[in-house]
Structures are given as C-alpha cells and as structure tokens.
Amino acid sequence: MASRSISASVSEATATKLRVLASREDRTVSSLISNAISLYTDLPRELRLAWKQMQASDERSFQAFLREVTALTVQKRFERARQELAASIPRSPELAEMPEAELADAAVEMEMKR
C-alpha cells in the first residue's frame, strides 16, 4: 500500500506521551500516529463528535468513560477467545445432554484434577 507523509502539530505533553507509548510498544512514533489516525477516521462521525464533546466538557468523566470502553473491549476479546476455544474442542455427547448445574460441577471437577 502506498504511503503518504503528512505533518501534524501537537502539544509538548502529547509529543512526550507519543514517544513514551511508542517506546513501550517497541514502535516508531510515526507508526503509532498512523494507527491512531486510521482508527480515528474509521470511527463513525457521531462517535468522534461525542467523544470530543465529552473530553472538552469534563476530563475526569471522559477518563472514566475510556476505562469503561477499555473494560468492554477486554471483555469482548475474552468472549471471542472463549468462543474460538470452545469451537476448537470436539463436542462431547455426554456433556451436551448434561443440565447446566451438572455441567458446572463437571467443570469444577475437571479443573481440580489438573
């Protein structure tokens, strides 16, 4: 894919955050900025506007909101991984017919045998 260079001015605090984050993730600042721009431009307009308004009105509430979004993202990633793992395990007719309470007991038993 062809790349095009663009420039942007950011505050010194943002530049420092970018350098630190890029270093922690073993990436270049340019790569980090490129990914951030791609993500931002992929967001629906309404979401971008809402986030900007929230950030401008109350930084503390905005940070709490970002923590909630992060928690939801982690939860969704965990659920996807769980589904992929479940799909990779051959189905057991014995377990398929088991009531949910017995299935939970069987799971605890299996875990204790490890």
User: What is the per-residue pLDDT for 103?
Assistant: 75
Average pLDDT, the chain: 89
**Segment 43-82, tens digit of pLDDT:** 999 999 998 898 899 889 889 989 999 999 999 999 998 8
* Sign of the CA dihedral with 57 first, then 21, 80, and 102 last: negative
Worst-scoring range by mean pLDDT, 45-49, 50-54, 91-95, 101-105? 91-95
Helices (H), the chain: 12-24, 29-42, 45-57, 59-88, 93-96, 100-113
Section 102-109 average pLDDT? 79
Cβ 31 vs Cβ 19: under 8 Å:
no
Cβ 58 vs Cβ 51: under 8 Å:
no
What is the spatial distance between Cα 112 and Cα 97, in angstroms, rounded to a whole number? 22
Structure tokens at 63: 């940070």
